């Protein structure tokens, strides 16, 4: 029973911290230094979007095939 209480308390604490953090951080308002990354982005949200796009785009000169997740 004590182990369940500890797990519940830790879970609630984790969720509380994440919700608190998410409610105060807006990635489109956070600046991003792109001087060393080669990205065009100037804020965190644009950098995340750019990385996501790169990860889901086949590089020029390559042939890519989509692999089904199992």
6 or 19, higher pLDDT: 6
8 or 28, higher pLDDT: 28
Express each pLDDT in 16-67 by its tens digit.
544 445 556 677 788 888 898 888 999 888 898 999 988 888 888 888 887 8
Global pTM value: 0.51
Widest pairwise Cα distance in the chain: 59
Ramachandran region of residue 45, left (φ > 0), alpha (ψ -120 to 50) or beta? alpha
pLDDT number for residue 24: 60
Q: Is 4 a residue whose pLDDT tops 60?
A: yes
User: Nearest 5°: phi and psi at 47?
Assistant: -65, -45
Cα–Cα distance, 15 to 23 (Å, whole number): 12
């Amino acid at each position: 029973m004590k182990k369940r209480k500890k797990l519940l308390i830790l879970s609630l604490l984790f969720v509380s911290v994440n919700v608190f953090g998410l409610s105060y951080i807006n990635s489109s308002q956070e600046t991003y230094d792109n001087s060393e990354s080669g990205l065009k982005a100037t804020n965190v949200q644009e950098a995340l979007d750019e990385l996501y796009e790169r990860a889901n785009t086949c590089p020029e000169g390559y042939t890519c095939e989509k692999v089904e997740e199992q």
